[in-house]
Amino acid sequence: MHVNPLWLLFTLVPIIGGFFWVARIARTRKELQKRLLNVVPSAGGLKVHQEVVAGPRIRPDSESRFSTVARLLNIPKDVPLANVLAPTMVFFLGGFCGFLFYLLAGHLVSQSTSLLIGVVASVLMTRGIFGWEISRYQTLLVTQLPDTVQLVVSATRAGLPVSEAFKAVAEEMASPTHEEFIRVVNEIALGATPDAALLSLHHRTGVTEYAIFAVTIGVQSRSGGRLAETIQNLAEIVRERLVITARAKALAGEAKASGIIMTILPFVAGGIQYVTNPDQMSILFNDPRGTRLLSIGIVTLLLGVLTMRQLISGATKE
């Protein structure tokens, strides 16, 4: 099959653009680190963590040149610890996936349509990887949240202010809560209120419980009341939500196992058939009609996997 040079251009531009974007971030993060160290050399004995300022700092407003691309590709914004793969690798995988879909679709539709399918597949692949990274990061934070809240409760019951309780969280908790609360402590040191710093953490990570935590502290600081008891109730609610989520995932385990078996079975059966009767299977690779049928089978299989994944994800979503 002849490869359209236009597709190569569409493949290379996002990869090269993503590379220069990450290189720009790497160049500016040292300047940001230096500025933070000059302004806040030490917040209550806590050193500024380098990885905390190493990620893409994309402003949420519409004036940011990267905001539209970030929303389209679901790029983690200002949360570098969420990146399992380097952004350049994610862009490369997205372009490679789109190229494969372009080749598969080229046997079924025209080149212009297959080019469009390849671009859509590339965007969906890139968005899916970034979305998985964000979801994984949020799960880690929510899993550690009950212990985080309990530590704040213990510190406030001991008579410490909320800002000092946050410093204890930054010192005692494991990653990624450790790094996130270092940022919270640094924001408070720069003049932000504890509830505003927590709300910034919510906007940065997308964890709803941090917004509830921020509202709880903000209301208590303005109206008074027993902060420790209120936060303790929040910790119990979070634990109950985690238990319900774990039960839902356990109930969905059978459906996930069935989906995995149904996905692997065609390849296993095809491999056995190719070993026992290679002449029959060679039609799928040598004959244009067989190649077309093979492409249809792969595309429909992938669509089925995505559909099952979406159904399971929707059933287990909080």
Can you give the pLDDT at residue 155? 87
Can you give the pLDDT at residue 318? 52
Can you give the pLDDT at residue 184? 92
- pLDDT digit string, tens, across residues 237-257: 888 877 887 787 777 777 778
Which position has the token pair 């969420």?
A: 82
- CA pair distance 306, 118, nearest whole angstrom: 16
Can you give the pLDDT at residue 31? 65
Q: Which residues of the chain have pLDDT under 70?
A: 1-67, 224-225, 315-318
CATH 1.20.81.30 domain extents, the chain: 140-250
Can you give the pLDDT at residue 63? 41
Q: What is the CA radius of gyration of the chain?
A: 25
Sign, CA torsion 222/228/233/237: positive
Cα separations in angstroms, 125 against 31, 90, 206, 294: 32, 9, 21, 21
158 membership: H or E segment, kind and range: none
Beta bridge partners of 43: 46
Number of H helices, E strands in the chain: 12, 0
Can you give the pLDDT at residue 49? 44
- pLDDT digit string, tens, across residues 254-283: 777 888 888 888 888 888 888 888 888 888
Q: Where are the beta strands (DSSP E) in 117-214?
A: none
Can you give the pLDDT at residue 162? 86
Q: What is the pTM of this model?
A: 0.71
Which DSSP string do the residues of 298-310 spell out, in sequence order? HHHHHHHHHHHHH
Whether cis (ω within 30° of 0) applies to the bond prior to 288 is: no
Q: Judge contact between 43 and 189, C-beta under 8 A.
A: yes
- CA pair distance 115, 108, nearest whole angstrom: 12
CATH topology for the 140-250 domain: Receptor-associated Protein (1.20.81)
Can you give the pLDDT at residue 57? 42
